[in-house]
Structure 1
């Protein structure tokens, strides 16, 4: 992650909650990408999380992936094409719509998801070490509350 803070009006931009949350997300995502690279998955980039995060086990259309990730179909199609080229996903005909194709994870793609999911306890341990168990539990509850309230 870049440590350069944008300058606006001649002064560093003040941090706000949204910026802090996004920067924390980027740091956490970087941990996953680094771990994937260590395990031989260097072709997976941070942007590919938008595919893996929203992919259903039974397959998902590029259109639905794009909608879930709040990006254009064209941008999602590029991410899927990269992952398909590198063997992480495959596209198969949609049995419910002859015109559509479903994106499915391959064994290699499921391995990537497994590596990312295996990092969760490690990340929570690091956060617990920094904040303490009670504050982590409160943070989790607060974030869940905000998700419900802002949805």
Structure 2
């Protein structure tokens, strides 16, 4: 397995908090695609998670998906086109904006979302086994506090 944090002149690069949070997310998220492949969705790739993670069940524009995923609109559109061609999503006119289209999960896309949700209790159970229920509860509270503090300060 390759390292996701690059070295620095032959030494390990110090991990700051943001990198540690991202790497923990990546470690958990990397378990999702193999699970989905085992469930029969062998044409999905890790990049497709950027669509499914930010897709509202009532539909989402490509622009909103891109913004939520911190991607360019063009890159998100490419992912959506691939998922549309493979039957996971469909685009329909936005009833509130005739110029826009909404990306909606198809039946197959909803099956992917359901299959991914099945994995959540298993992963949380593994985290509880690792750090305990009380620490997980505190970790959630700490993450909520960090998100609240720094989301409110965007642009400060």
TM-score, length basis structure 2: 0.90
In 2: Cα distance, 1:71 partner to 1:147 partner: 20
> 2:65 aligned with 1:65, yes or no?
yes
For structure 1, list consecutive stretches of 5 or more residues without a partner in the other structure. Answer: none
In 1: Cα distance, 2:30 partner to 2:11 partner: 28
Partner in structure 2 of residue 99 of structure 1: 99
In 2: Cα distance, 1:2 partner to 1:148 partner: 33
> 2:31 aligned with 1:9, yes or no?
no
Superposed CA RMSD in Å reads 1.4
Q: Which moved more, 1:28-37 or 1:49-58?
A: 49-58
Three-state SS of the structure 1 residue aligned to 2:44 is: coil
> 2:110 aligned with 1:114, yes or no?
no
Partner in structure 2 of residue 137 of structure 1: 137
Partner in structure 1 of residue 154 of structure 2: none
Q: How many residues align?
A: 151
Three-state SS of the structure 2 residue aligned to 1:54 is: coil
Partner in structure 1 of residue 126 of structure 2: 126
Structure 1 50/4 Cα, relative in aligned 2: closer, same or farther at 3 Å? closer
Deviation track 1:5-42 (CA, whole Å, cap 9, x = no partner) reads 42213322122222221111111111111100001112
Q: Which moved more, 1:53-62 or 1:79-88?
A: 53-62
Three-state SS of the structure 1 residue aligned to 2:36 is: helix
In 1: Cα distance, 2:115 partner to 2:4 partner: 30
Partner in structure 1 of residue 36 of structure 2: 36
In 1: Cα distance, 2:114 partner to 2:4 partner: 32
In 2: Cα distance, 1:41 partner to 1:18 partner: 31
The alpha carbon displacement at 1:3 in A equals 3.0
Q: After the TM superposition, which segments of 4 or more aligned residues of structure 1 sit over 4 Å from their partners?
A: none
Partner in structure 1 of residue 150 of structure 2: 150
The alpha carbon displacement at 1:64 in A equals 1.3
